[in-house]
Every structure is written in C-alpha cells, then in structure tokens.
C-alpha cells in the first residue's frame, strides 16, 4: 500500500467505489462502518444522483441524514463507463443535548461486561455469537448493572436469531452533549443475521446513562465516553 492508498484508508470520511452495475469494488475503513448500517444499493443510487453529467468530478453541498449519520457534501467522480467513485463528508454531529444520568457510573472495561452477557446467554441458546471489538477503546464510566440489564434484554429479544454480531466501536464525528459538554460516543451494536420482531423490545429508564435505538434487525446502545 503506497502513501496515497494508506491516506485514503485512514480518511475519517467514507470513500467508496462501484462498478457500473453497482457492485462494490472498494471501501475504506470508515465506509465499511457505513455499509454495515446502510444498504449498498442506497449508496450506489446516491452516487448516481450526484454524478456529473459528463466525465469528471463534481462536489455538491448537501444536508443529508442517513440513519445516525449526517453529511454536508458529496464528491462523485467517473472517467469511464466501468466504475464510479464517491466520497461523503461527515458533519460533526451532536446526537442530542442529553439529560443522561452519570450517577452510579464507575470506570469499567466494556468488553468484560459484553463478554459476561454473551457467556450467560450462550449457555441456554443455539445462537452463534460473533464479537467485533475496537481494542483501542479505553475503560470509561459505565453504570455496569444498568448496561448488563439492557444488553440481556436485547439478546433475549434476538433469542431466535441464528447469529448475533456484537460490535463495540467508537463513533467518529458524533457526540453526546451532557450538561453543555460534548462527549464522544461508544456504540454497542447488536445485529441479527435473521429478521426479528424488534417492536417487542422496549426499554425506558428516566435515569438512563445511555441511549438505546432500534433499527430493523439491529439494536444499538450509545454511551458517552467519560474517562474521569
């Protein structure tokens, strides 16, 4: 990998290439996170929509929100009929001015908590559990009891799934604001390989220390990264 290839791979904005038939031919690291949440065809259609009318490059300033992502511009390039390239520019987004509680939180290793929940559920389940962890995430303040409770509820909701993938990642460009201070977001995403009825999942806690969202066959816990 040369300097420019490595530079694109490390870009915090999604960079994606498609064939003329919409087949994915390249995606940098950030784009792979995006593709785990947004259908490939949806992004290909977006590239076609903002492509220049003739060969070349065109950048369009947009106000586009997809899932939990927000973009302020898109660049599309094509020089022949065989491939098309796109780059999306992410907006730094504050998820919400949150009233999340920081009570009963202690510095904890989130991977230990997730491993504990999975180990407990595997005993009485035929579901295959896959773990996808970002090892660079440090220990941070978590209400461990509350977190384990909601994670167990999520796994119970996906009890009939053939395979569950649990990803623990740092969201780039998104923040949770608590009492006027911005905090980065650690996201725990539980993705089911089979379609499940997530409408049955219900979690409400006025004193919650995180945000829970449902999206088709995925449930996500977003936690503020508070180190002290």
What is d(CA 120, CA 167) in angstroms, rounded to the nearest whole number? 18
Q: What single string gives the DSSP state of each residue in 5-54?
A: HHHHHT-SS-EEEEETTS-EEEE-HHHHHHHTTS-HHHHHHHHHHTS-SS
Q: Which CATH number fits domain 97-224: 3.40.190.100, 3.30.565.10, 3.40.50.720, 1.10.260.40?
A: 3.30.565.10
Question: Tokens 């539980």 label which residue?
Answer: 190
Question: Tokens 């999942």 label which residue?
Answer: 201
Are the C-beta atoms of 82 and 93 separated by less than 8 Å? no
Could you read off the pLDDT tens digit of each residue along the chain, which spans 228 residues?
A: 678 888 888 888 999 999 999 999 999 988 988 887 788 999 999 999 999 999 999 999 998 877 667 788 999 999 899 999 999 998 765 455 456 878 889 999 999 999 999 999 988 888 999 999 999 999 999 999 999 999 999 999 888 889 999 999 998 777 888 877 888 999 999 999 887 777 777 777 767 889 888 877 889 999 999 998
Task: Specify the 3-state DSSP secondary structure of 147.
Answer: helix
187's enclosing H/E stretch is strand 181-192
Q: Which CATH number fits domain 3-91: 1.10.10.10, 1.10.3720.10, 3.40.1390.30, 3.30.450.20?
A: 3.30.450.20
182's enclosing H/E stretch is strand 181-192
């Amino acid at each position: 990998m040369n300097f420019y290839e490595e530079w694109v791979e490390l870009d915090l904005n999604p960079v994606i290439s498609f064939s003329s038939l919409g087949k994915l031919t390249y995606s940098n690291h950030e784009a792979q996170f995006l593709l785990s949440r947004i259908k490939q065809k949806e992004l290909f259609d977006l590239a076609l929509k903002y492509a220049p009318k003739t060969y070349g490059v065109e950048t369009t300033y947009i106000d586009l929100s997809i899932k939990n992502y927000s973009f302020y511009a898109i660049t599309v390039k094509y020089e022949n009929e065989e491939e098309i390239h796109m780059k999306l520019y992410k907006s730094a987004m504050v998820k919400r001015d949150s009233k999340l509680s920081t009570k009963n939180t202690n510095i904890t290793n989130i991977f230990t908590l997730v491993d504990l929940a999975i180990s407990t559920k595997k005993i009485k389940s035929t579901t295959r559990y896959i773990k996808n962890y970002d090892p660079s995430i440090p220990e941070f303040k978590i209400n461990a009891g509350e977190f384990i409770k909601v994670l167990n509820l999520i796994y119970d909701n996906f009890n009939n799934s053939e395979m569950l993938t649990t990803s623990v990642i740092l969201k780039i460009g998104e923040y949770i604001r608590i009492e006027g201070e911005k905090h980065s977001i650690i996201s725990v995403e539980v993705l089911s390989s089979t379609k499940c009825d997530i409408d049955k999942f219900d979690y409400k806690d006025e004193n919650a220390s995180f945000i829970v969202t449902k999206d088709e066959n995925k449930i996500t816990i977003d936690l503020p990264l508070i180190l002290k």
